[in-house]
Amino acid sequence: MAISVEDIKKLKELTGVGLTDAKKALVEADGDFDKALEEMRKKGLTRAEKKGDREAREGVIDSYVHGERIGVVVEVNCETDFVARLDDFKKVAHEIAMQIAAMSPRYVSQEDIPAEVVEKFRAESIERVQNEGKPAELAEKIVDGQVKKHFAEQVLMSQPFVLDDTKTVEEYIKENIAKLGENIIVRQFKRIELGVTE
């Protein structure tokens, strides 16, 4: 299986490992780029994962107004004031604000969803599936799928990135962690839509 130089360079850039390690991972994955990247993530070899534990207290507050009807304010953090002033970092913050305006997430990450909200939706799903007469062994799987799908759409990090739907917002942020060399965290956001109250 021929491994392309472009894939090796791309894997090196995303993970921060050397060219040799990137090539080795691709060879082990039979040239499958996504599989190689996933294996490196499982082993904790990616630069983004290593930086993900570092504290991020600098950053920017960005805003975006769409058509004078939707407004977003978002806090995006990084580790140093130096990176916070970079145009590339500011662009990330602005694109996240645009994402929030377009896709209307309610939570930053899965961990932000209150347990009682998940349980309430799960209970409603179980009741609905049981009323449809589904067998018990199938019902649990159906409900798990419904819960996962329902909340994936409400969680910023799980949403498809609006400017490139081949990746999630979380993957977009990890790419920029690798590129900028610092941890990046979306700390909080507020989305306001004209005539709509929470």
* Residue 187 sits in the same domain as residue 102: yes
Domain count along the chain: 3
pLDDT band for position 86 (cuts 50, 70, 90): very high
Query: Is the pLDDT confidence value at 21 over 90?
Result: no
Q: What is the mean predicted confidence (pLDDT) over 101-117?
A: 92
Tell me the CA distances in angstroms from 181 to 15, 50, 78, 113, 170, one per residue in order: 11, 10, 10, 29, 16
Query: Is the pLDDT confidence value at 71 over 70?
Result: yes
User: 162 — phi, psi (to 5°)?
Assistant: -65, -30
* Residue 34 sits in the same domain as residue 99: no
pTM here is 0.67
CATH number at residue 33: 1.10.8.10
* Residue 85 sits in the same domain as residue 178: yes
Q: What is the mean predicted confidence (pLDDT) over 8-31?
A: 78
The Cα–Cα gap between 106 and 20 comes to: 42
Task: Outline where DSSP puts E strands in 46-96.
Answer: 58-66, 70-78
pLDDT band for position 17 (cuts 50, 70, 90): low
What are the tens digits of pLDDT across the range 138-170? 877 888 888 888 888 899 999 999 999 999 999
Percentage with pLDDT > 90 across the chain: 44
* Residue 34 sits in the same domain as residue 62: no
pLDDT mean across residues, the chain: 86
Q: What is the mean predicted confidence (pLDDT) over 55-77?
A: 93
Q: Which residues of 121-160 are buried (b: 16+ CB within 10 A; e: fewer)?
A: beeebbeebeeeeeeeeebeebbeebbeeebeebbbbbbb
- Of residues 3 and 55, the one with the higher pLDDT is 3
Query: Is the pLDDT confidence value at 52 over 80?
Result: no
Q: Give the domain extent around 129.
A: 114-152
Query: Is the pLDDT confidence value at 179 over 70?
Result: yes
The winner for highest mean pLDDT among 3-7, 75-79, 128-132, 176-180 is 75-79
What is the residue type of 84? A
pLDDT band for position 44 (cuts 50, 70, 90): low
CATH number at residue 121: 1.10.286
* Residue 16 sits in the same domain as residue 99: no
